[in-house]
Structure 1
Amino acid sequence: MTEKDRGDAAENHRDTDEEVEEAHRPDALLLHEIIRAEGEEELRRTAVALTLSAFAAGLTMGFSLIVPGVLKSQLPDAPWADLVTSLGYSIGFLIVVLGRQQLFTENTVTPILPLLHERSLINLWRVARLWGIVLAANMVATFVIAYALAETDAFKPEVHAAFAEISHHTIESPFLTTMVKAVFAGWLIALMVWILPATGSAAPFIIILMTSLVAMCGLAHIVAGSVDAFYLVATGAIGMGDYLWRFFVPTLLGNVLGGVTLVSVLNYGQVAPEVEDKAASTRD
């Protein structure tokens, strides 16, 4: 083999190695670092930016009632119809996630990783500030869109009947059952956030898949479900006390528990030694 041939072979080998490296899926540490960097960015955002983004997300989540309601009003009363309406539930999430709007359940992952990486009172305060702003803005916006849906005549009576039927499922379970459903919902949404950096162009499919599972399984999501429950408040079907005790409190507790413990803490735990080694080498 000539010197030129050996050089060409070495070049081809390097090209192959680069292609393999690019095609290889990100490992757990890389996913952790990507999400932690996003969390640091979110924690640095101003209160105004967070409020506007979270308010926009709450309004957008109205489509997770509108689209299933319209579909339900048009479909026959058949077992497969629920599967179709579950796909409609994903539309609000799809717009929010791809539009980079602030949704509370996503924030059970992204800002938690910086806190786990550097456990300090300052970081704890930063996370509490982010959670408080985003949750409050999400809730106000869901009330606004639910009230608008209840008062408008833009949708036919049969669509409003579908809105009411869907919404009643949100508050039908007792406190503990709703909380358990919310744990699973928080788990699924946090897992979606965790794997999205590895999905590339498949991100819309992953969002639709994970969020439609929430609807298909009848799970409880604090923001999407608040649109449903507030719709019942706006129409006079339930009172604000029912909303708070039968939905808001158990769902909030469950979503936080599912997202923080079952995704953030466990996934951080699997890479913690590597993260600490990397931090130590950086200090050295």
Structure 2
Amino acid sequence: MDSTEERVRAHEEKRTNRENGKASEDAEKQVDRASRLTAKLIYEVIRRDGAEEMTRPRTSLVFSGLAAGILIAFSVLGEAIFRAHLPDTPWRPLVESLGYTLGFLLVIKGRMQLFTENTITTVLPLMSQPCREYFYLTGRLWAIVLLSNVVGAFVAATFIGYSGAFSPEIHDAMRSISEHAVLNPPLEGFAKAVPAGVIIAAIVWMLPTVPHNPYFIIVTFTWLIAAGDFTHIIAGSVEMAYLVVQGLIGWSESLTFFGPVLLGNVVGGTAVFTIITWAQVATEVEN
């Protein structure tokens, strides 16, 4: 009888230990899920993503960049649709800026190649391992994606301008929005582009912390670009292309807009945000 009780007791102890062990593992998993990603882990997620993007085939980059250039037009179009249907009031810009978020949602969630995202994504691998190969791969990706984005922007602008799919009111709003964005002095264009570059790089940095629900971050911060009257080179290329294909500006005016805004986005995304974020993790990464 005593031996039977001992066997039962031993069996119960083993089961209890197994349950306690399982409870401990479950608790550990809950802690892991509740813990915030450290800056070093965020850096590593983006670095690996950037290293993978740099080695993608040229054809993949071209078509992904074309898709991004076309889809980002929904930002300008969304803003124009809001403006065409809202009364002319002091609060209208805050509401119509919601339309600007649409193209970015499509591009970022669709994992399309957007030039301004690469001001941080592909630069982090380069900063962690500066070498000739990484300089070449970064320059190659930047050139392919930028050109593809701009071609896609012209395709979208041509469709918007000549397809007959949009009402005169939307065209009037597109023209007004585009002229406001494009017809700025070069120095002002550069200055407005720097915050936009910082914001896009910040979005890329924050996305690994919310892998399953990034919509709030994307919508809030791309809304801020429009509401703050900042300038994004690819969304701005749609506005520039719309004015060009409508014969409202020439190529010299286009370049006066394009060059300073491109430089401002790169300065904001790379020289400001990426270098600062690299500095905070550089020692940990090296160790």
Alignment: residue pair count: 275
AA partner of residue 29 (structure 2): E
Across the aligned residues of Structure 1 and Structure 2, the Cα RMSD in angstroms comes to 1.6
Q: How does 1:36-47 map to 2 (within 5 A)?
A: 36-47=47-58
Aligned match of 2:184 = 173
Deviations 1:80-123 (A, max 9, x none): 22122111011000000000000000000111111011100111
AA partner of residue 272 (structure 1): A
Structure 1 CA distance, aligned partners of 2:124 and 2:151? 27
Aligned match of 2:237 = 226
Residue 261 (structure 2) pairs with residue 260 (structure 1): no
Q: How does 1:129-148 map to 2 (within 5 A)?
A: 129-148=140-159
Shift of residue 168, structure 1, vs aligned partner: 0.8
Tell me the secondary structure at the aligned position of residue 109 of structure 1. Answer: helix
Aligned match of 2:208 = 197
Shift of residue 243, structure 1, vs aligned partner: 0.8
Deviations 1:199-257 (A, max 9, x none): 13320111111111000001010000110111111111111110111x10010000000
Using structure 1 for the length normalisation, give the TM-score: 0.93
Residue 178 (structure 2) pairs with residue 164 (structure 1): no
Residue 218 (structure 2) pairs with residue 207 (structure 1): yes
Structure 1 CA distance, aligned partners of 2:228 and 2:37? 30
Shift of residue 172, structure 1, vs aligned partner: 3.2
AA partner of residue 40 (structure 2): L
Structure 2 CA distance, aligned partners of 1:9 and 1:102? 48
Structure 2 CA distance, aligned partners of 1:195 and 1:59? 25
> Taking every aligned residue pair, what percent have the same amino acid on both sides?
43
Structure 2 CA distance, aligned partners of 1:25 and 1:103? 27
Using structure 2 for the length normalisation, give the TM-score: 0.92
Query: Aligned match of 2:250 in 209, 228, 239?
Result: 239
Shift of residue 144, structure 1, vs aligned partner: 1.5
Q: Which runs of 5+ in 2 are unaligned?
A: 1-11
Structure 1 CA distance, aligned partners of 2:25 and 2:55? 40
Aligned match of 1:280 = none
Q: Which runs of 5+ in 1 are unaligned?
A: 278-284
Aligned match of 1:269 = 279
Tell me the secondary structure at the aligned position of residue 121 of structure 2. Answer: coil
Shift of residue 67, structure 1, vs aligned partner: 1.3
Residue 103 (structure 2) pairs with residue 92 (structure 1): yes
Residue 130 (structure 2) pairs with residue 119 (structure 1): yes
